[in-house]
């Protein structure tokens, strides 16, 4: 495969943002930042056999997800994704058409958000595929939804449903074979392979007075811990109102673990004041964006995150959990 | 190794640029772009056993070079490097102190340019180390030194000396053992392991009327081909005036190959008008920055890049070269 041919074949034919002054084809990309905004930058890496396996993920799936997880970080800041750069370390056995298919998977998502591919690098490696994506976005000055913005008495919310991605992964790894043939297992698998970043909800959060926000990459418990730590508050959530897919409990007795610690849902979780919650809920309803209240923010106590169940309360650690009552 | 501990240990204690609103520690970094500048973004990847070998490169060397090659891309646009993000795919056998040493190597260079580490990702891999760096810089609006800016009658120049990095690599790979014990082989090895990006010369080029510029990552022949193609001109260089280290010919009969095709010198090569060349040469002299005139730009002919030697002329292709006379 000729590197120059590959670069030519992946160079976009159209540019969505007129602020791109130079895209692919020079030493670096050039763009002009808008006045009155802050630039947002994130970078995430996915490694073969650590984050995905080739026997169940197509090149398109891998490309799609590598971009999706970065867009999700921009969404979690309340921003608009604008540009992306892609760096691939590709094993020699990959064909040019497989590499192009990875870019196709990214392009599918990029088109949706009018994002421009502006740079990157493709190098060979002897072993595992490594995909690194950098996404640049923007948010109106002072409107970013930081983890440190949670305050006591805030409402805690989560978008969509949680645990479905972990369920999908479990199905892909054939850890369990559900007996019930009427279960739509493809739904869960797709939630794992093709997560939908919640850019619209992030944008709504950036438009209200104050919102703390995180995207669920490491699991709800971990993300809420990060918000609680950064904001010096405690967060209490109610197990009975966590939004899950109605089929989730039918898949495996593990379903509560999946919902709390599973991760890779790429939903958003955060906190807003009670007044702003009413606004946010209404705006989401109008746009048919699913969002659920799952708890409250408290003054800081010994535990960062507390789960209330029917019978007890327990501390939710960043990873795993401890019973303390 | 705990991911959160690592993030804490690599998070910079001081921030050079007040424009960094949020650095490491949220979903993404936030910064405010200055008015009147263009943002420059680049991303480069280095893979173990493809770009470096662990038996001759220390973790500090690897970190240093991974950042240096990206700073060099910013220099080749005439820009100032400002921020960097680092993504590591690290084999399990690496210790936390080795990973930190990689960041130390980067920090050594970052301090020199007052750059801030603002984000990235660290993930595990089963096999080879993969280091990806994104650098963000800026250049005054309209002042970027693009490849497409070469014009007929321009002077072609190169900074520093060429071929030394390839010589260093050859010594590291023990392809040749020079007989002459008085040769400073460490000098060449260091040129390969610790290239010096030419930010100051890039800045001078951006301050004059018009300069086409490339950094030498793939070799002089390849970089000049890119300028010639992008500018629709031909470039003629004179072999007798190519700047090389005086010991280079003593190392191996291959030295001309190293100088023209070796790559990884991370010097700058470019073109400016005759009048601007006098200005650039003088400014470089004042600052003790080595720069050498190596040829001229011509109206486009069949060959993009032509090498004049004592006896003949030949076309220099992007990779390898063809004799045509």
Helix/strand/coil (H, E, C) string of chain A? CCHHHHHHHHCCCCCCCCCEEECECECCEEECCCCCEEEEEEEEEEEECCCECCCCCCHHHHHHHHHHHHHHHHHCCCCEEEEEEEEEEEECCCCHHHHHHHHHHHHHHHHHCCCEEEEEEEEEECCCCEEEEEEEEEEECCCCCCHHHCCCCCEEEEECCCCHHHHHHHHHCCCCCCCCCCCCHHHHHHHHHCCCCCHHHHHHHHHCCCEEEEECCCCHHHHHHHHHHHHCCEEEEEHHHCCCCCCHHHHCCCHHHHHHHCCCCCCEEEEECHHHHHHHHHHHHHCCCCEEEEEEEECCCCCCEEEECCCCEEEECCCCEEECC
Residue B26 distance to chain A (closest CA, Å): 7
The pLDDT of residue B19: 84
Q: Rounded to whole angstroms, how far apart are CA atoms B131 and B65?
A: 10
The pLDDT of residue B298: 97
Tell me the pLDDT tens digit for each residue of A24-33: 888 999 999 9
Do B125 and B207 meet the contact criterion of CB atoms below 8 Å apart?
Answer: no
The pLDDT of residue A203: 98
Taking contacts as CB-CB distances below 8 angstroms, the residues of chain A near B28 are: 40-42, 73-74, 76-77, 79, 135, 137
Tell me the backbone φ, ψ of residue B76, rounded to 5 degrees. -70, -10
Contact A43 B89 (CB under 8 A): no
The pLDDT of residue B324: 45
Q: Is A31 annotated as a binding residue?
A: no
Q: Rounded to whole angstroms, how far apart are CA atoms A122 and A287?
A: 39
What is the mean predicted confidence (pLDDT) over A78-96? Answer: 96
Tracing tokens 């019973």 back to the chain, one arrives at A323
**Residue among A86, A118, A147 minimizing CB distance to B26:** A147
Q: Is A103 annotated as a binding residue?
A: yes
Contact A30 B141 (CB under 8 A): no
Helices (H), chain B: 3-10, 59-75, 96-112, 164-172, 185-193, 199-207, 220-231, 248-251, 255-261, 274-286
- Interface confidence, given as ipTM, is 0.93
Name the residue of chain A whose CA is nearest to B128's CA.
A127
CATH topology of domain A3-140: 60s Ribosomal Protein L30; Chain: A; (3.30.1330)
For residue A323, is pLDDT > 60?
no
Do B138 and A30 meet the contact criterion of CB atoms below 8 Å apart?
Answer: no
Q: Rounded to whole angstroms, how far apart are CA atoms A312 and A293?
A: 20
Q: Is A186 annotated as a binding residue?
A: no
Considering only the top CATH level, what class is A147-323?
A: alpha beta
Tell me the backbone φ, ψ of residue A124, rounded to 5 degrees. -95, 155
Contact B77 A26 (CB under 8 A): yes
Q: Is A263 annotated as a binding residue?
A: no
SS3 B116: strand
The pLDDT of residue A324: 45
Give the strand order in the sheet containing A305-308: A211-215, A268-272, A155-159, A291-298, A234-238, A305-308, A313-316, A321-323
**Residue among B33, B47, B134 minimizing CB distance to A125:** B47
Taking contacts as CB-CB distances below 8 angstroms, the residues of chain A near B134 are: 41, 43, 85, 134
Q: Rounded to whole angstroms, how far apart are CA atoms B124 and B142?
A: 41
A–B interface: beta-carbon pairs under 8 A:
197
Contact A41 B118 (CB under 8 A): yes
Residue B29 distance to chain A (closest CA, Å): 5
Name the residue of chain B whose CA is nearest to A76's CA.
B27
Taking contacts as CB-CB distances below 8 angstroms, the residues of chain B near A215 are: 27
Lowest mean pLDDT, pick from A48-52, A131-135, A199-203, B2-6: B2-6
For residue A3, is pLDDT > 80?
no
For residue A176, is pLDDT > 80?
no
Q: Rounded to whole angstroms, how far apart are CA atoms B150 and B296?
A: 10
The sign of the dihedral angle between the CA atoms of B58, B109, B162, B223 is: positive
Q: Rounded to whole angstroms, how far apart are CA atoms A188 and A194?
A: 10
Residue A79 distance to chain B (closest CA, Å): 10
Considering only the top CATH level, what class is B147-322?
A: alpha beta
Residue A188 distance to chain B (closest CA, Å): 25
What is the mean predicted confidence (pLDDT) over A206-225? Answer: 96
Residue of A2, A18, A23, A26 to mutate for B, most B C-beta atoms under 10 A? A26
Q: What share of chain B is helix, strand, coil (3-state, %, to 5)?
A: 35, 30, 35
Helices (H), B41-157: 59-75, 96-112
What torsion do the CA atoms of A321, B2, B3, B6 make, to the nearest 10 degrees?
140
Per-residue pLDDT 10s for chain B (325 aa) are 566 677 778 888 778 888 888 888 899 999 999 999 999 999 999 999 999 999 999 999 999 999 999 999 999 999 999 999 999 999 999 999 999 999 999 999 999 999 999 999 999 998 899 999 999 999 999 999 999 999 999 999 999 999 999 999 999 998 766 666 678 899 999 999 999 999 999 999 999 999 999 999 999 999 999 999 999 999 999 999 999 999 999 998 989 999 999 999 999 999 999 999 999 999 999 999 999 999 999 999 999 999 999 999 999 998 754 444 3
HEC string of B180-232 equals: CCCCCHHHHHHHHHCCCCCHHHHHHHHHCCCEEEEECCCCHHHHHHHHHHHHC
Q: Is B51 annotated as a binding residue?
A: yes
Contact A45 B77 (CB under 8 A): no
The pLDDT of residue B183: 81
- Closest to A216 measured CA to CA, from A265, A257, A146: A265
What is the mean predicted confidence (pLDDT) over A10-18? Answer: 81
The pLDDT of residue B176: 63
Q: Is A121 annotated as a binding residue?
A: yes
Q: End-to-end alpha-carbon separation of chain B, Å?
A: 61
Tell me the pLDDT tens digit for each residue of A223-260: 999 999 999 999 999 999 999 999 999 998 989 999 99
Q: Please, what is the Cα angle at A268 between A267 and A269, to 5 degrees?
A: 125
Q: Rounded to whole angstroms, how far apart are CA atoms A109 and B189?
A: 44
The pLDDT of residue A184: 87
Residue of A40, A132, A213, A270 to mutate for B, most B C-beta atoms under 10 A? A132
Tracing tokens 């969505």 back to the chain, one arrives at A16
Contact A41 B31 (CB under 8 A): yes
The pLDDT of residue A181: 66
**pLDDT band per the 50, 70, 90 thresholds, residue A177:** low
User: Where are chain A's structural domains?
Assistant: 3-140, 147-323
Mean residue pLDDT of chain A comes to 93
């Amino acid at each position: 495969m000729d590197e120059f041919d590959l670069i030519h074949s992946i160079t976009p034919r159209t540019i969505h943002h007129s602020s791109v002054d130079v895209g692919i084809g020079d030493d670096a990309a050039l763009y002009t930042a808008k006045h009155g905004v802050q630039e947002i930058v994130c970078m995430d890496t996915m490694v073969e056999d650590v984050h995905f396996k080739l026997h169940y993920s197509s090149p398109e799936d891998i490309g799609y997800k590598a971009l999706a997880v970065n867009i999700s970080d921009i969404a979690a800041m309340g921003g608009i994704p604008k540009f992306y750069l892609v760096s691939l370390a590709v094993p020699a056995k990959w064909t040019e058409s497989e590499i192009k298919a990875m870019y196709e998977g990214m392009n599918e998502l990029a088109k949706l958000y009018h994002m421009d591919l502006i740079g990157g690098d493709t190098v060979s490696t002897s072993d595992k595929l490594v995909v690194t994506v950098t996404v640049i976005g923007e948010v109106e000055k002072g409107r970013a939804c930081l983890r440190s913005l949670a305050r006591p008495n805030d409402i805690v919310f989560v978008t969509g449903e949680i645990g479905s991605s972990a369920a999908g992964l479990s199905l892909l790894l054939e850890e369990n074979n559900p007996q019930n043939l009427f279960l739509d297992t493809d739904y869960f698998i797709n939630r794992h392979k093709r997560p939908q970043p919640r850019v619209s909800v992030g944008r709504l959060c950036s438009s209200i007075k104050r919102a703390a926000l995180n995207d669920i990459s490491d699991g709800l418990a971990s993300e809420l811990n990060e918000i609680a730590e950064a904001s010096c508050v405690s967060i209490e959530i109610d197990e009975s109102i966590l939004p899950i897919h109605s089929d989730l409990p039918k898949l495996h007795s593990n379903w509560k673990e999946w919902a709390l610690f599973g991760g890779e849902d790429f939903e958003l979780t955060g906190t807003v004041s009670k007044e702003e919650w009413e606004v946010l809920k209404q705006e989401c309803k109008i746009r048919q964006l699913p969002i659920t209240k799952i708890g409250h923010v408290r003054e800081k106590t010994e535990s960062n995150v507390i789960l209330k169940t029917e019978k007890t309360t327990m501390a939710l650690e960043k990873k795993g959990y401890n019973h303390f009552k």
